[in-house]
């Protein structure tokens, strides 16, 4: 959930409300609202810090993106974000031939 929040939170989605209205909301807002609705508590303190920071930004009207977390003063948030944005595998250049 936190990985999706960091990597895809800035994207907008069309969402249909119960009264059939269509609105655009960020993926971050959807994830945050779902986590709050479920009253979920994170076991990992860094995940909780990222969630809290993201929630704070949304409340201030800012849709967060990974750069917000990479620029964090908290080194653990930076490290976790780097882990999220880094590709785990590199394909060989030979795959480009096919």
Q: Convert the pLDDT of each residue in 84-98 to its tens digit.
A: 998 766 666 666 665
Task: Give the pLDDT mean for 44-64.
Answer: 96
C-beta atoms surrounding 96 within 10 Å: 7
What confidence tier does 18 reach under pLDDT thresholds 50, 70, 90?
confident
Mark 3-17 as b/e (b = at least 16 C-beta within 10 Å): eebbbebeeeeeeee
Q: What is the mean pLDDT of residues 62-67?
A: 94
Average pLDDT, the chain: 90
Closest Cα to residue 85, out of 30, 26, 29, 3? 3
């Amino acid at each position: 959930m936190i990985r999706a929040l960091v990597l895809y939170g800035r994207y907008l989605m069309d969402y249909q409300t119960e009264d059939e209205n269509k609105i655009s909301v960020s993926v971050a807002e959807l994830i945050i609202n779902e986590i709050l609705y479920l009253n979920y508590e994170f076991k990992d303190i860094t995940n909780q810090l990222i969630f809290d920071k993201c929630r704070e930004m949304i409340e201030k009207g800012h849709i967060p993106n990974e750069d917000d977390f990479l620029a964090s003063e908290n080194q653990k948030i930076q490290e976790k974000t780097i882990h999220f944005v880094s590709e785990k595998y590199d394909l060989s250049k030979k795959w480009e031939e096919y």
